[in-house]
Structures are given as structure tokens and as C-alpha cells.
Amino acid sequence: MIFTSTKNNKEAVGFRTAALNGLASNKGLYVPTFMPKLRTEILESGVFGPEEAAQVMQLFIGEDIPLKKLTEILDQTLAFDFPLVQIGADKYCLELFHGPTKAFKDVGARFMSRVLGYFKAQDSNKSHVLVATSGDTGAAVANGFLNIDGVEVHILFPKGKVSEYQERQMTTLGGNINAYEVEGTFDDCQSLVKQAFSDNGLKQKMSLSSANSINVARFLPQMLYYFIASNTLKNKNLNNITYSVPSGNFGNLTAGLYANALGLPVENFIASTNRNDTFINYLVSGTYEPKPSVLTYSNAMDVGAPSNFTRILDLFDNDWQAIKGKIDGIAVSDEKTLQIMDRIHAATGYIIDPHGAVGYLGLETYQKEGDTGVVLGTASPLKFSSVIQKVVPSFETPDAGSKTVFKTSIKNDYKSFLEVLLS
Ligand SMILES: *Cc1c(COP(=O)(O)O)cnc(C)c1O
């Protein structure tokens, strides 16, 4: 597959280069030059494991990773459960949080780290992966990349603005994982990373890549969730499926749209956000106006300028009507989020995390009669215990453990960052 940039349609690279570069030219995102079609037998066999996953991924990866190796990578990537738990009459939660860091980002991070490790084994030049995080991304990336040869990871997180549990996940690994605690906000971390990517002097000294969902190697494997869930439901004779996706940077939702474009049947998608409603406003008005993010209980979705938006525009050829035809959208307040968590818990005993709760309201609002609704359970409630306790006071905070912490504190300025990066 040839990928091009959303900002420069003259760029043409294969999967390998797209994954190693992260960001495309002119700060665009890599998108495929056409949408391949899946052989429908894959969807009919009733089985969806690493071999089927490899056939899906190969549509975009081509010869850059041999099928046997790709299957092996996917076998390791998907080495935990993806239970589909019924939480309402025709509503399910696809629990994507049974990986090592308890959030759905494990799949993308595990896949990407193994892919980069494979590419790096063929070249001696070390790759430096830079990533800004509000919590979950850093944890998943740290875990996925630990001890991968040829790759050094640099994680920037805002001081005091990630949960203690998340901070431990990023700072207790050591080895090739470097964590920087920035005196600033998530947006500041993001802006330091962006400055690094546009610093040509730095790029001559080190080969940089990004592990955010702008990277095709992290973004594309997220398609597999939808295949796994649809396969499980098909085996129960449930076929008309609507997915509600708790969304921040819209990597997860866009991957669902890609799965659908490949040929996976999906009735409808629901973009469920918190008060950071840039995309929801776009659905209403047709204009895209990014704005600063605001802090909410579902903080992994506190994004005011969703980075994958341009991939959605690309997929639908900028056709606002077509986008509205496939995606409904809802913005949910913190107050409503707690109400839903409380209501689900009272009715069924199920504890849903705040991101999942946002998605659940999306289903209640837009799921059509006769359809089966699936909300993507993006994080374990354990990661957000302080929010859960507002609804279920007896919910216990997990023990953070007492491992050695490796982190470097830096000021919110590019010079300080560059200094530690080059040291
Ligand atoms: C990252 C994250 C999201 C948002 O995912 P996007 O792909 O950025 O839209 C939602 N929920 C949780 C728990 C997350 O960690």
C-alpha cells in the first residue's frame, strides 16, 4: 500500500517509512491512497484470530512485513481477552482493557513497538520515539516498548495531572523508557513534541518517530477491535451493529470507519465525547473549530483539536453530509457521566469507567430499534478509581506498589527538553 500525506498529495511512501516517520510531510497525517477490499470469507468463517487479523493488516502493510512475521506479531499483540459483556437489553460493552496497562491503547502500542523493533533489526540507526501523554498513552507505550532493541522512548507528561497509578506505570520501568515530568499542561507537552518534530537540526542528530495515534502502526491495528466484536456477535446471530466510541483524538473511531470501509458491516457509528465537543459541533455546523481542551472526569478524552479529524475528512472526501450519514455525535457533561455510571451500577452491578459511561449515553441516544449496540470499554474502572468512588464509595483504589521511580523533571520550555533529550 502507498500512503500519502493529508497535507501534500505528492508524498508517496510505503508502510515501513510511514511507521518510522510517524508524521507525514507538511505536518500532515499518512493516509492510504485507496481503500482496499477485504475477502468476505474472513468475515464468514466465524473465527477471528491472529491469522485473520494478519490478513486484514496485510492490506495496508503489503510486503513490508512477511505474513508469517506479521501473524506472529499479532499473536503477541492480541494475547489477552476482549470480552463482550452484556450490560443492557441490546447493549454490550466491548472490554478493551485486559492488557498490561488496562486501557485499549495497549493493542496499538504493542503492535507498533513490535513493528518498529522488526524494522530496526534491519538497520543500525536508533529510533527515538517521542510521545506526549495525558496518562494512558504513556503507560501503554512504555509497557509496549520496554526492552525493544534499537528504540529509545521519551514520554512527556504534565506534572501532577495524571493519576498516581498512571504515573507509576510510566516511571517505574527504566531501561529504554525515559519519562519527563513537565511543569505545564498536556497541551504544553504536546507542543514540546511538535517543536521537536519541526526542529531540522535535531532531526539530523536523531531519527524521531511518534507513538501517538497519528502513527499508522498504532492507528491501524485498532481496526481489529471491530472485527473481533462483530465476529463474536455474528456467532450469536446479531448482525446490525452500532458502535459507540468514547473519543478524544478520534484514532479509535477512525479505525472503525476504516474497518467498515474495508467491508466490515456496521450500521452506524456514534462519536461520544465529553465537554470537549469540537467534533460534535462540526457534525452540527459543518465547520471545524478546534479550541483549548477542558478538564473532565473522562480525562483521556480531553482533546480540543482531535488529531485524526483530517483522516475522517480524507476518508469521506470532505463530504460533511456523508460524514453525518455515518456518524452521530454526542457531548456528555461530567454530571451526566456520573448519573449513567450510577444508573448502570444500580441496575446491573456493572461498574463502567467514565469514558465508557459517556459512550453508553451515546447508545441510549442514537441506537436504532432492532440494532445491537456496542460501547467500546476503553479503560478499566481501576484506572479512574477516584471518579468511580463518587458513585460507588466502597470501590477500592489499587495499590500503586513501591517500585523505583525513574523520571526527569523539566521546565516547560524547549531548551530544557532538548538538553535532556540530547544528554
Ligand atoms: C485514549 C483514550 C480515549 C480516546 O481515544 P482516541 O482514539 O484518542 O479517540 C478514550 N478512552 C480512554 C480510556 C483512552 O485512554
> At residue 359, does pLDDT exceed 90?
yes
Read off the pLDDT of each residue in 155-161 and give the average, rounded to a whole number.
Answer: 92
Q: Are 194 and 208 in contact (CB under 8 A)?
A: no
Average pLDDT in the chain: 94
- 98 or 404, which is more confident? 98
Lowest pLDDT segment from 78-92, 120-134, 171-185: 120-134
Mutate to test the pocket of ligand 1, among 355, 360, 375 (most ligand atoms within 8 A of CB): 355
Atom of ligand 1 nearest to the CA of 254: 7
- 365 or 8, which is more confident? 365
Reduce the secondary structure of 98-150 to three states and give it as a string.
Answer: CCCCCECHHHHHHHHHHHHHHHHCCCCCCEEEEEECCCHHHHHHHHHHCCCCC
Which entry of 7, 37, 102, 105 is annotated as an active-site residue?
105
> At residue 355, does pLDDT exceed 70?
yes
Of the chain, the percentage scoring pLDDT greater than 70 comes to: 100
Q: Which three cell numbers stand for residue 389?
A: 468512588
The answer to whether 105 is a known catalytic residue is yes
Mutate to test the pocket of ligand 1, among 218, 247, 253, 297 (most ligand atoms within 8 A of CB): 247
Tell me what pLDDT residue 404 has: 87
Read off the pLDDT of each residue in 322-344 and give the average, rounded to a whole number.
Answer: 98
Distance 253 CA to ligand 1 centre (A): 9
What are residue 319's phi and psi, to 5 degrees? Answer: -95, 100
Read off the pLDDT of each residue in 85-111 and give the average, rounded to a whole number.
Answer: 95
Provide the angle, in degrees to the nearest 10, between the axes of the packed helices 251-262 and 223-234.
Answer: 60
Sequence-distant contacts of 115-119: CB under 8 A, at least 24 apart: 115/19, 115/65, 115/73, 115/217, 116/19, 116/20, 116/145, 116/148, 116/150, 116/151, 116/209, 116/217, 117/148, 117/149, 117/150, 117/151, 118/65, 118/69, 118/73, 119/16, 119/19, 119/20
Read off the pLDDT of each residue in 297-308 and give the average, rounded to a whole number.
Answer: 91
Tell me what pLDDT residue 400 has: 65
CA distances from 19 to 77, 237, 360, 397 (A): 17, 37, 33, 37
What are residue 86's phi and psi, to 5 degrees? Answer: -75, 125
Read off the pLDDT of each residue in 97-103 and give the average, rounded to a whole number.
Answer: 94
Is the CB of 106 inside a 6 Å radius of any atom of ligand 1? no
Distance 47 CA to ligand 1 centre (A): 27
Mind listing the domains of the chain with CATH numbers?
81-101+219-388 (3.40.50.1100)
Q: Are 141 and 173 in contact (CB under 8 A)?
A: no
